[in-house]
Structure 1
Amino acid sequence: MREDDTRTAAVLISGGIESAVLCATMLDEHPRVQPIYIRCGLRWEEVELASARAFLAAVARPGLARLVVLDEPIRDVYGPHWSTDGPEVPGAETPDEAVYLPGRNLLLTVKSALWCRLRGVATLTLGSLGSNPFPDSTDEFFRDLESVVGRALSGSPRLIRPFARLHKADVIRRGAGLPLHLTFSCIRPVAGLHCGLCNKCAERRDGFRDAEVPDRTRYAEPDRA
């Protein structure tokens, strides 16, 4: 194992608003920021990954490392499921629980923590929000996970969640000067655009409204609110 790299903070990034803002703002606190994307084989990831690359290119500055992409296939576990190739993608009217992906936070965090441990990166940051209702997003979950991973690997990066007390609108306000239109939050993309009809598109639109920040996102379907 390498000695701890205290200068680098890894960021588990998707194409979404929270992890994108986190990645950009961590550069104000760390000399080097290493974004990590985990590819699981889900239906939106081609567009999501392209969006993550576009955002990182737009905010590039000294200290921002090249994106690392790791594979953690999950299609064979989920089987026929809306997140892989099932037809019933949760719509705008569905509750948050409808988009829960069992075990995903566990898999993503363990994979990226192992990558960090083998390279001596001492800090892994995640963009999970305080409003996230799922059992694998609580303070207790991440505290226990850090402990378990540390025992398994004889050491673990610290798991830091700077937005754990915030809501989406709070993060949007923090990132208002960033190219948030390049981020991606849709679970049923249409020709590379946000569909405008799914649960995550509705959440995104609500976040911009609550933040009172103009939404420059391109949606395939106009807002019907």
Structure 2
Amino acid sequence: MKTLVVCSGGLDSVSLAHKVAAEHTLIGLISFNYGQRHSKELDYAAKAAERLGVPHDIIDITAIGQHLTGSALTDDLDVPDGHYAEETMKITVVPNRNAIMLTIAFGLAAARQAEAVAVAVHGGDHFIYPDCRPAFIDSFQTMQNHALDGYASVQLFAPFVHVSKAEIVRQGAACDTPFAQTWSCYKGGLKHCGRCGTCVERREAFHLAGIEDPTDYDDPDFWKAATSGFKAEEV
């Protein structure tokens, strides 16, 4: 299956790129600059494409992103610390982000005669992000079937949509994903902060997966207090 992977440069999407390269035919990575808080992660997406020997396109949608206000990922708002599933993490929602990006990705896939677009949404995203839920994935596929009817047939490949981040770590390890060459932290410092929701989730995922975390954190032990009393959902 000739597949174009939407890759942010994070742990999930880079693991997905390696999984697709191992199991299907990876034809390229596509990333988006939407005016996010920092673009450090895009450097890691570029490294993944180089490592896997495929083209990498960075689509500039900053003109759109500047209107998607109210998120700590696009505005000058503090990124909250703590577990990813806490109510405070809703401030990291960028409205309709996945719908916008996937629409563009499907257009590119159709133009390049790809058979699938792969996206790394996973079970841990469902609590906060409506455009990461299975119902969205199914509905988006239906919409694209109509949008490309008679021109192309492109599948939305979301193999992690029903699994936990710990399972992504396991599958990524099985595909030799170099986890140290991925970036998750929302704060974009010299090292992962270890305190923001995505750092806590990342650190916890390695722990639950039973795989050593190679990430260098400013606060490597904060995740223990942040996850205390919270039972991670293993799906």
Which residue does 2:118 correspond to in 1?
125
Deviation at 1:93, TM superposition (A): 4.5
Deviation at 1:144, TM superposition (A): 1.6
Deviation at 1:69, TM superposition (A): 1.4
SS in 2 for 1:145: helix
Cα RMSD for the two superposed structures: 2.0
Q: Which has the higher helix share?
A: 2
Which residue does 2:227 correspond to in 1?
none
Deviation at 1:20, TM superposition (A): 0.8
- Do 1:8 and 1:34's aligned partners in 2 also have CA atoms closer than 8 Å? no
Q: Deviations over 1:60-93 (max 9, x none)?
A: 3xxx422121122243212364212413212125
Within 1, Cα distance between the matches of 2:125 and 2:111?
Answer: 30
After the TM superposition, which residues 42-191 of structure 1 pair with which residues of structure 2 at under 5 Å, given as runs?
A: 42-44=36-38, 46-58=39-51, 60=52, 64-73=53-62, 74-79=64-69, 81-93=71-83, 95=86, 96-133=89-126, 134-154=129-149, 155-176=152-173, 177-191=176-190
- The match for 1:31 among 16, 25, 31 is 25
Q: Deviations over 1:190-213 (max 9, x none)?
A: 13x212221111111111111111
Consecutive unaligned residues of structure 1, counting only runs of 5 or more, are 1-6
Letter in 2 for 1:136: D
- Do 1:168 and 1:207's aligned partners in 2 also have CA atoms closer than 8 Å? yes
Instruction: Tell me the percent identity.
Output: 27
TM score, norm. by length of structure 1: 0.85
- The match for 2:218 among 200, 217, 220 is 220
Matched positions, count: 213
Q: Deviations over 1:81-120 (max 9, x none)?
A: 4212413212125615343222111111111111111222
Which residue does 1:22 correspond to in 2?
16
Deviation at 1:172, TM superposition (A): 0.5
Within 2, Cα distance between the matches of 1:120 and 1:162?
Answer: 21
Q: Deviations over 1:149-186 (max 9, x none)?
A: 23233345110111122110011012223210111111
Over 3 Å counting, the alpha-carbon distance change for 1:140 and 1:85 in structure 2 is closer
Deviates more, 1:146-155 or 1:119-128: 146-155
Where has structure 1 moved over 4 Å in runs of 4 or more?
Answer: none
